Structure 1
Amino acid sequence: MPEAVNKNTLSRSQRIRLASVMLLLLTVSLGIYLGLQTRAQFREVEASWSDYSDGVGRKGVWISSIRGHLGYGGIIHNFKNYVLRREEVYLDRTREQIDQFMTTTAEYLEATVDPDERNAIGMVRRTIKQYSAILPLAVQAAEEQWDVARTDDAVRIDDAAAIQALAELERLWTANRQVSAERMLSAVSRGQTLIWIGFASIAGLVMSSLLIGYLLILLLRDMRGALSQLSDELKKRRALQQSNERLARAVEQSPATIFMTDTDARIIYANRQFEKLTGWSRDEVIGQTPQFLQSGDTPPAEYEIIRKRLAKGLDWRGVFRNRSKDGGSYWAETKILPLVAADGTVQNYIGIGEDVTEKRQAREQVARAQKLEAVGLLAGGIAHDFNNVLTTIVGAAHLAALDAPERSEIAVEIEQIDIAARRAQSLVRGLLTFARREPGLRKPTDFGAIIDEVSRLLNASMPPTITLDCTAVEDKLIVLGDETHLHQIVMNLCRNSIEAIGGSLGEIRVLARTLYDDLPEGLASRPGGWILFEVADNGPGMSTETLQHLFDPFFTTKPLGKGSGLGLAVVFGLIEELDGTIDVTSKPKQGAKFTIYLPGTESDTSQPKLENTDIPRGRERIVVVDDQAEVAATFRRVLLRLGYQVEAFTSPLTALEHIRAEPQRPDLLISDMVMPQMSGEELVNAVRELRPDIPVIICTGYNPSGLEIAGPAVDLMNKPVDPAKLARSIRAMIDAAS
């Protein structure tokens, strides 16, 4: 019996193996067959789809484009519109569409080998080339104002053959698309049949697999008991391992910096974010205390508080400015807490930090933007009215200077009034520039002349205990920048040094020269070179903390009422706008030196220096319009002293009616920009409709942008207006008009 059982068992095992081998061979053979057939069908579908999408599809796009160029709004339509209406926009559209059409048809010809398609495209191209060839004649007809009938006869082109060729091209494309679609549908149909065969085969294989599975169950049943206990043990170990791995991944991939120390505060672990943020690797920090992160901003007393809290088992929260390996710094919102064992003793300390550098910078940018907005509102509100007041002061001072004896005490006092008014003008310009309300015009500017002008203004107003040395300023320093902005840069830097020295003995040294070589790192060479400009003083100097905030808006170390905190912020913004650089070196009690690099240019200044200081005069008739009676009266008095016949108005509507009565009477118009009834721009355009060639000078409190004034260019002058500059502008514009 045992032997018979063994034989039966052996026979059953052999049958199971034989059945398994046969099913396996059947499965492999069927799989290979189905795989080869499926691959062939996929290739057929791919080939038919490629033919349909790459060939027929692309041609459809081209044909659609050609149809668009020949249809409404296309070449023929725009050409005929140009012939009829003679508007340049239709000519530009026709030329642009002809170029696009030729490009599209050239691509079509390059892609197709069908002779019928090439003949049809050639016919359409020949017709469009006829339109292209006849365009100059249409332009000539428009320029010489031919009548429509003559123009139509001269440029008429028979496009029926092109339309027929396009229809033939569309018919060929439709036929090719039908063939490609039928080929693709046929391949898909055969593929569907193959799928059903595959489904039936899979069903048979499933039944066979179930039979093999049943036989295997009989063989493996005895092994289940032994494996069950081992499997339970492996599951427990795997769950514990996965839990540890998840915890390690969470700590390692955490967006926060995490480091752990022992009770002596020596680091025993640091995660990946810690390495990324600080720049130090784990190997470099293991065994060290976190002192290498300290930037010096946090006082030692705060670290003592942290140590005491951790010793008591309490956590600590706060913000550090930490030092990174490359010498930079970052802000981290940090939580430090002790890891306490079951018996209550502290085993380790863990620090968790979040990088909040961008958040702090964003808050600072918002605060800066709010300050800029406040300055912008302030500047826009006071610029017009304040500059009107300064115009009256400057004009009255000029008139008084004409009557004052030369070098008399009254002449000196009048000169001081003029200097004070110009300083007030510079302050308003600084506000407008800082708030980006006064745009700059970059052009070749004589920087040496600006330094000379600023030195003369400062020598007349600064304390006698201070010496301003400009002997190191070279000649022919041409900077590509705005003249007013460059004046503000020089004035603010020199004024800053004067205020830093105060009433003490001091010296300010100004250097300016052109550099082509030996440029600092970060400055690329340029054809016009760079203008090096330095302002150095032997004043009290500045601390490191002051240097860090030196260019912040509204930051000042001066007493209340002695400084606005805008001067150096304006300088920084203007230099940045000019694509220049600025650097400051200073130490307490060792003075300060500002080093600026400004872009030079090979072009000469557009306006040469005026050697003749005489103020030109005249007898022409001038109309002055300003809603401020004081300003209008000041302009009138100044111009009357120069010999002109002046009519002043405070109402632009009244002035317009006066000019409308005799448009040829005035020789020049001077107008304010911002007026309640009608703006200066509207007034000038209205006058130019009556008298297109009248010279115009616009005097404004701050530079407007986007002026649209018909006729000859107007002269835009900033208030307060220099009477001498106004006189020269009047004479130049009247002479040019006559």
Structure 2
Amino acid sequence: MPEAMNENALSRSHRIRLASVLLLLLTVSLGMYLGLQTRDQFYEVEASWADYSDDVGQKGVWISSIRGHLGYGGIIHNFKNYVLRREDLYLNRTREQIDEFMATTADYLAATIDPEERRAIGTVRDTIDQYRAILPVAILAAEQQWDVARTDAAVRLDDDAAIRALADLERIWTANRQVSSDRMLSAVSRGQRLIWIGFASIAALVLSSVLIGYLLILLLRDMRGALSLLSKELQKRRALQQSNERLARAVEQSPATIFMTDTNARIIYANRQFEKLTGWSRDEVHGQTPRFLQSGDTPAAEYEIIRARLAKGQEWQGVFRNRCKDGSSYWSETKILPLMAADGTILNYIGIGEDVTEKRQAREQVARAQKLEAVGLLAGGIAHDFNNILTTIVGSAHLATLDAPEGSDIAHEIEQIDIAAHRAQSLVRGLLTFARREPGIPRPTDLGVIITEVSRLLTAAKPPNITLDCTAVQDGMTVLGDETHLHQIVMNLCRNAIEAIGGASGDIMVSARRMVDDLPEGLTQRSDGWVQFDVADNGPGMSAQTRRHLFDPFFTTKPLGKGSGLGLAVVFGLVEEMGGQIDVASQLGQGAKFSIFLPGTAGDPARTKPEKLDVPRGRERIILVDDQAQVAATFRRVLLRLGYRVEAFTSPLTALEHVRADPQRPDLLITDMVMPQMSGEDLVNAVRRLRPNIPVIICTGYNPSGLKINGPVADTLNKPVDPAKLAHSIRAMIDATR
């Protein structure tokens, strides 16, 4: 029994020793295995990283350099530029780039043993050798000034093989880079698996050997730290890549125009907004200086200041008017700044621009509105005095006409004075209308009568080399508008056509027709229809730029002193006030046609024919009041020639005292509106308190609005007053009262 127990104990001890030995051997073997595998993985990571960073990376740099030599701005591009332009700049660049290319490819060949890469590099080198070989031919062609076809035939080379070889080289590099990347990721993945194997081994062997477990933990901790560092490095690279992508998207989607140039001011990048605003694509502007944006408004000295500031590393900020690809322009508030390296070296220049065209247009509109307000104040101030002067001229010309023999030279000269006075009157009316100081009264008006009157005035004033044809005006062209304003529209358009033709021979066609169905865009059907009035000439025509600003106030293409720039602006305003529309058709060298669309009416026109030439006379007593002595004297002479008994006064207070002495003595009161001491309105009301039914005629420099006159309605005549119209008004007012 004891022997059996001893044998059993020995046997258990043997088994324990054997198990211990086996466990120790297993532990040592597992430790050695994990250690060797870990070392191999470190070597693999190190080798794959070195392969990725050194071999593949360096080849990527060489391939990028080769691509640059073959692409835009490279050897082939500069060689072709030299062939076409024959400038030594491109020849020198070609030679320098050939030398650089050969040095780069030599380094590549020395570093690679891959037969496909060596074959591809050899193909590209052969093509560049061919360009170097034919370079003397191109130089000879430039020196002897060969024609383009001969030069092209002599130096033309097929570089398709080089392009394909470059593509093969890039394909091989991409494949090698992918292999290196896969190798590195595989090594990292295997290392992570080893971690979990180590943890499992430790859990299984911890009971057998604390020391072995501790050593394995230290070993695995070191390996895990190395892998963690590598993982963090990869995460940093990924985060940096994402940050660069976000920055690129922000720049690309920026509402500001952004472009970057090299230190020679040649554009290397432009964002999407730059393309959208200027109309130039990135490919078109790449390699160019921003000179193509210059509109000519900025002086050359300012560009010198910009270059000087940038060369010092200082930024510049200002406003440019830049030119778009289609010829239009825009205003850009621009900041140009240098991009500096850490050592202070200038790497690039960046231009950032904001489109401020609408802001400038808004400021210009405010300035235009202020200018118009000034015109309104000026027009109101000069209208009274200027029309008084014209009244004297028109009245004196009328008196001289009565004494001049019909058909004589003096009668012709007097007629020219009358025409000039009426043109001056039209100019004053234009100013008043433009400043909205003279409201229009829409009423049925025969447009044909207006055209006839304007034609009569212009026939004597226009040059003999210009023909004015109004035969295409149909009868019954009644429109709803102010008679004076219609007269201004017709006069301004016809006179504008005459001035456009100038000293050349030309024809002006005036026509008017009633429209039924063929309405232009913007007009709606009316029960009374529309009337189309056209003024067409065969003059020099207008450019698109002129047509865009045609109706702008103070815009004129005439020399200084030849035009105010208000005529067409007045026409546009009057047509718009009548509810009409104006269209312009014109091209350079093909004349111009202005089409006015006015609302028609079925009502009877206020005037169906021109006024009669006979002037009514009378014997009644007239009180005449005007603060201008010349105007009062002119009116008095005209009325005396018509047989009236006239008492003229330059002081409204003196005239009022005269009437107060005998209110029943005068048969009619004629007064000015704007006078010192007392206005015409106050004078009329004061006289009518003495005699309520006395007829009144108000002669004014501009149409007053909101008059409050007691008693019967007074007749209002605009200065300069036509003597015949004054005579008809006097007779009508006196006869109506009786």
| TM bin (shorter chain) | 0.5 to 0.7
CA contact (8 A) 1:266 1:287 kept: no
In the TM superposition, what is the alpha-carbon distance from 1:322 to its structure 2 partner?
A: 5.8
Distance 1:504 1:666 in 2: 57
User: Structure 2 vs 1, CA of residues 674 and 337 (structure 1 numbering), >3 Å: closer, same or farther?
Assistant: same
Residue 713 of structure 1 corresponds to 713
Report the residue type matching 1:715 in the other structure: D
In the TM superposition, what is the alpha-carbon distance from 1:371 to its structure 2 partner?
A: 2.9
Distance 2:248 2:499 in 1: 61
CA contact (8 A) 2:339 2:348 kept: yes
User: Structure 2 vs 1, CA of residues 269 and 556 (structure 1 numbering), >3 Å: closer, same or farther?
Assistant: closer
Report the residue type matching 1:570 in the other structure: V
CA contact (8 A) 1:268 1:286 kept: yes
CA contact (8 A) 2:294 2:321 kept: no
Residue 365 of structure 1 corresponds to 365
Residue 649 of structure 1 corresponds to 649
In the TM superposition, what is the alpha-carbon distance from 1:498 to its structure 2 partner?
A: 1.6
Distance 1:611 1:485 in 2: 18
Residue 415 of structure 1 corresponds to 415
SS at match of 2:461: coil
In the TM superposition, what is the alpha-carbon distance from 1:727 to its structure 2 partner?
A: 1.2
Distance 1:293 1:472 in 2: 53
CA contact (8 A) 1:266 1:286 kept: no
CA contact (8 A) 1:531 1:600 kept: yes
Residue 729 of structure 2 corresponds to 729
Residue 455 of structure 2 corresponds to 455
Residue 682 of structure 1 corresponds to 682
In the TM superposition, what is the alpha-carbon distance from 1:255 to its structure 2 partner?
A: 5.8
State, as a whole percentage, how many aligned pairs show the same letter: 72
- Once the two structures are superposed, what CA deviation does each residue of 1:523-553 show, in whole Å capped at 9, x if it has no partner? 2222233322222222233344443443333
In the TM superposition, what is the alpha-carbon distance from 1:625 to its structure 2 partner?
A: 0.9
Residue 142 of structure 1 corresponds to none
In the TM superposition, what is the alpha-carbon distance from 1:717 to its structure 2 partner?
A: 0.7
CA contact (8 A) 2:310 2:337 kept: no
Residue 319 of structure 1 corresponds to 320
Residue 559 of structure 1 corresponds to 559
CA contact (8 A) 2:692 2:711 kept: yes
Distance 1:348 1:581 in 2: 54
Report the residue type matching 2:385 in the other structure: D
In the TM superposition, what is the alpha-carbon distance from 1:366 to its structure 2 partner?
A: 3.2
SS at match of 1:708: coil
Distance 1:625 1:240 in 2: 92
Distance 1:427 1:259 in 2: 52
Residue 115 of structure 2 corresponds to none
Question: Is the radius of gyration larger for structure 1 or structure 2?
Answer: 2
User: Structure 2 vs 1, CA of residues 413 and 262 (structure 1 numbering), >3 Å: closer, same or farther?
Assistant: closer
Structure 2 residue 542 is matched with structure 1 residue 542:
yes
User: Structure 2 vs 1, CA of residues 583 and 455 (structure 1 numbering), >3 Å: closer, same or farther?
Assistant: same
In the TM superposition, what is the alpha-carbon distance from 1:723 to its structure 2 partner?
A: 1.0
- Once the two structures are superposed, what CA deviation does each residue of 1:457-508 show, in whole Å capped at 9, x if it has no partner? 0101212121101111112222222221221121122112222222332211
SS at match of 2:398: helix
User: Structure 2 vs 1, CA of residues 464 and 665 (structure 1 numbering), >3 Å: closer, same or farther?
Assistant: same
Mark the runs of 5 or more structure 2 residues left unpaired by the alignment: 1-227
- Once the two structures are superposed, what CA deviation does each residue of 1:637-680 show, in whole Å capped at 9, x if it has no partner? 22222222322211111111122222233222111001111000
Residue 630 of structure 1 corresponds to 630
Distance 1:329 1:464 in 2: 42
User: Structure 2 vs 1, CA of residues 266 and 558 (structure 1 numbering), >3 Å: closer, same or farther?
Assistant: closer
- Once the two structures are superposed, what CA deviation does each residue of 1:230-286 show, in whole Å capped at 9, x if it has no partner? 9xx999999999988997897688664446789998887847x779x7499xxx967
Distance 2:707 2:292 in 1: 56
Distance 2:537 2:546 in 1: 17
- Once the two structures are superposed, what CA deviation does each residue of 1:362-418 show, in whole Å capped at 9, x if it has no partner? 232233234323433332232211211211121122122222222223222222221
Residue 664 of structure 1 corresponds to 664
User: Structure 2 vs 1, CA of residues 238 and 503 (structure 1 numbering), >3 Å: closer, same or farther?
Assistant: closer
TM-score normalized by the length of structure 1: 0.60
In the TM superposition, what is the alpha-carbon distance from 1:698 to its structure 2 partner?
A: 0.4
TM-score normalized by the length of structure 2: 0.60
Report the residue type matching 1:496 in the other structure: N
Report the residue type matching 2:333 in the other structure: E
Mark the runs of 5 or more structure 1 residues left unpaired by the alignment: 1-228
Distance 2:566 2:682 in 1: 35
Residue 84 of structure 1 corresponds to none
Residue 507 of structure 2 corresponds to 507
User: Structure 2 vs 1, CA of residues 534 and 719 (structure 1 numbering), >3 Å: closer, same or farther?
Assistant: same
Equivalent residues in 2 for 1:259-338, closer than 5 Å: 270=271, 278=277, 289=285, 297=295, 318-321=319-322, 323=324, 330-337=330-337
Residue 467 of structure 1 corresponds to 467
Distance 2:320 2:401 in 1: 63
Report the residue type matching 1:559 in the other structure: P
Distance 1:706 1:356 in 2: 44
Distance 1:705 1:398 in 2: 29
Residue 579 of structure 2 corresponds to 579
Distance 2:702 2:426 in 1: 12
Judge which range, 632-641 or 695-704, deviates more.
632-641
Distance 1:386 1:624 in 2: 20
Distance 1:328 1:504 in 2: 32
User: Structure 2 vs 1, CA of residues 238 and 587 (structure 1 numbering), >3 Å: closer, same or farther?
Assistant: closer
In the TM superposition, what is the alpha-carbon distance from 1:348 to its structure 2 partner?
A: 7.1
Distance 2:396 2:307 in 1: 73
Judge which range, 662-671 or 536-545, deviates more.
536-545
Distance 1:591 1:722 in 2: 36
Residue 397 of structure 2 corresponds to 397
Distance 1:305 1:658 in 2: 76
In the TM superposition, what is the alpha-carbon distance from 1:688 to its structure 2 partner?
A: 1.8
Q: Aligned pairs, how many?
A: 504
Residue 381 of structure 2 corresponds to 381
Residue 602 of structure 1 corresponds to 602
SS at match of 1:676: coil
In the TM superposition, what is the alpha-carbon distance from 1:716 to its structure 2 partner?
A: 1.1
Residue 205 of structure 1 corresponds to none
Residue 430 of structure 2 corresponds to 430
Residue 114 of structure 2 corresponds to none
Report the residue type matching 1:568 in the other structure: L
- Once the two structures are superposed, what CA deviation does each residue of 1:580-639 show, in whole Å capped at 9, x if it has no partner? 333333333332222222233333323443564322222222211111122122222222
Report the residue type matching 1:528 in the other structure: D
CA contact (8 A) 2:448 2:475 kept: yes
User: Structure 2 vs 1, CA of residues 300 and 731 (structure 1 numbering), >3 Å: closer, same or farther?
Assistant: closer
Distance 1:349 1:677 in 2: 72
Distance 2:325 2:695 in 1: 64
User: Structure 2 vs 1, CA of residues 267 and 570 (structure 1 numbering), >3 Å: closer, same or farther?
Assistant: farther
Structure 2 residue 513 is matched with structure 1 residue 488:
no
Distance 1:594 1:293 in 2: 39
User: Structure 2 vs 1, CA of residues 460 and 350 (structure 1 numbering), >3 Å: closer, same or farther?
Assistant: same
Report the residue type matching 1:497 in the other structure: A
SS at match of 1:551: coil
SS at match of 1:464: coil
Report the residue type matching 1:335 in the other structure: K
Residue 71 of structure 1 corresponds to none
Distance 1:386 1:591 in 2: 35
In the TM superposition, what is the alpha-carbon distance from 1:295 to its structure 2 partner?
A: 8.0
In the TM superposition, what is the alpha-carbon distance from 1:297 to its structure 2 partner?
A: 3.9
Distance 1:297 1:238 in 2: 45
Equivalent residues in 2 for 1:16-55, closer than 5 Å: none
Equivalent residues in 2 for 1:33-432, closer than 5 Å: 256-258=256-258, 270=271, 278=277, 289=285, 297=295, 318-321=319-322, 323=324, 330-337=330-337, 339=339, 350-432=350-432
Equivalent residues in 2 for 1:607-622, closer than 5 Å: 607-609=607-609, 612-622=612-622
Report the residue type matching 1:695 in the other structure: P
CA contact (8 A) 1:441 1:481 kept: yes
User: Structure 2 vs 1, CA of residues 574 and 321 (structure 1 numbering), >3 Å: closer, same or farther?
Assistant: farther
Judge which range, 509-518 or 465-474, deviates more.
509-518
Distance 1:246 1:523 in 2: 52
Report the residue type matching 1:596 in the other structure: I
SS at match of 1:527: coil
Distance 2:693 2:237 in 1: 97
